[in-house]
């Protein structure tokens, strides 16, 4: 009874689908979060009559054959890199990227992580850091005597000091882009690591060709659309129920066989 196995793979696939949707909904308020989408592929087929084979000695060829599918599998969970909305916060160390690019973060392990979450602050020594205290590359330190800090669209960090008319340039934020953003590995805390699938990071100042611009006093909200996610959740639930009905029907058919005398 292949239908039992086929329906079971369908239920597992829809369970994965619901898990992806639930993670999207759970992160609808997460800064810089990019929604995910589960993709599925059909499994291999059993050939009862192979298409194109000869059906007679005269060379007659089967026009269609007979193949029975064995179910479905999860092929990938894609990250949709659509720009989220920009929300004004008035916090001078909140940064948002309008366009392509990721902020670079130095992890305690020495690795470089990447993020779209620009909710930054200052460490005790005045270095710009993430909410977890990780240094934002290239490690910009704001002078303690700075009365105001401006970060322009090209990533220049300008500090206004007492006794000076012109702001002092104290650092330059660099962004990173990848040939394949979907290949980045999520490690939590809104951070990603480069992988062979993502390709090597290409670095440049914001505003360069192919790179987005930096907006001070803004954050990028999640790009999750709640209405779409709820609709997808209902569809996944219905698909799960229909696969369960197939298992019920298959079980009833097997019960009929066991009752034969």
| pLDDT tens digits along 28-75 | 999 999 999 999 999 988 887 777 777 666 677 777 778 788 999 999
Omega prior to 241 cis, within 30 of 0: no
Do both 77 and 115 map to the same domain?
Answer: no
| CB neighbour burial string for 106-115, b if at least 16 within 10 angstroms, e if fewer | beeeeeebbb
* Span 39-50, pLDDT tens digits: 999 998 888 777
Q: Is the per-residue pLDDT at 177 higher than 90?
A: yes
Main-chain phi, psi angles of 153, to 5 degrees: -65, -25
Q: What is the DSSP letter of 93?
A: T
The mean of the pLDDT values for the chain is: 91
The total of other beta-carbon atoms located within 10 Å of residue 165's CB is 6
**Model pLDDT, residue 57:** 66
Domain co-membership, 128 together with 101: yes
Q: What would the pLDDT profile of 75-85 be if each residue is shown by its tens digit? A: 999 999 899 99
How much is the pLDDT for 76?
92
Rounded average pLDDT over 120-146: 92
Same domain, residue pair 132 and 183: yes
Residues 6+ apart with CB under 8 A from 88: 217, 218
Across the range 193-198, mean pLDDT stands at: 94
What confidence category does residue 242 fall into, taking pLDDT thresholds of 50, 70 and 90? very high
Q: Is 0.95 surpassed by the pTM of this model?
A: no
Do residue 101 and residue 42 come from a single domain?
A: no
143 and 169 share a domain? yes
Q: Based on the domain organization, do 57 and 104 belong to the same domain?
A: no
30 plus 121 within the same structural domain: no
Are the beta carbons of 91 and 217 closer than 8 angstroms?
yes
Does 213 lie in the same domain as 100? Answer: yes
Pairing of strands 95-98, 213-216: antiparallel
- Which run of H or of E encompasses 156? strand 156-161
Q: Are residues 111 and 199 in the same domain?
A: yes
Structural domain that includes position 58? 2-81+224-258
The number of distinct structural domains making up the chain is 2
| pLDDT over 70, % of the chain | 98
For residues 165 and 93, state if they share a domain: yes
Residues 41 and 113 in one domain: no
Q: Are residues 127 and 194 in the same domain?
A: yes
């Amino acid at each position: 009874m292949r239908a039992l196995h086929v329906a079971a793979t369908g239920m597992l696939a829809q369970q994965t689908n619901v898990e992806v949707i639930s993670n999207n909904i759970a992160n609808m308020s997460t800064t810089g979060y990019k929604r995910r989408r589960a993709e599925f592929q059909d499994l291999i087929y059993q050939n009862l009559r192979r298409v194109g084979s000869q059906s007679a000695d005269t060379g007659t060829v089967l026009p269609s054959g007979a193949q029975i599918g064995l179910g479905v599998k999860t092929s990938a969970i894609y990250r949709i890199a659509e720009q989220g909305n920009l929300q004004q916060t008035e916090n001078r160390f909140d940064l948002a990227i309008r366009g392509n690019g990721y902020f670079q973060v130095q992890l305690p392990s020495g690795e470089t992580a990447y993020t779209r979450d620009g909710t930054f602050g200052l460490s005790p020594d005045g270095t710009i850091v993430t909410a977890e205290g990780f240094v934002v590359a290239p490690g910009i330190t704001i002078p303690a005597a700075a009365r105001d800090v401006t970060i322009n669209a090209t990533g220049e960090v300008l500090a206004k000091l007492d006794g000076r008319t012109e702001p002092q340039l104290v650092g330059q934020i660099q962004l990173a882009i990848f040939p394949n953003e979907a290949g980045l590995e999520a490690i939590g805390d809104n951070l990603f690591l480069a992988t062979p699938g993502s390709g090597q990071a290409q670095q440049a100042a914001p505003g360069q060709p192919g790179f987005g611009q930096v907006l001070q006093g803004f954050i990028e909200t999640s790009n999750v659309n709640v209405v779409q996610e709820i609709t997808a959740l209902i569809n996944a639930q219905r698909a799960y129920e229909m696969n369960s009905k197939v298992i019920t029907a298959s079980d009833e058919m097997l019960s009929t066989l066991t009752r034969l005398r």
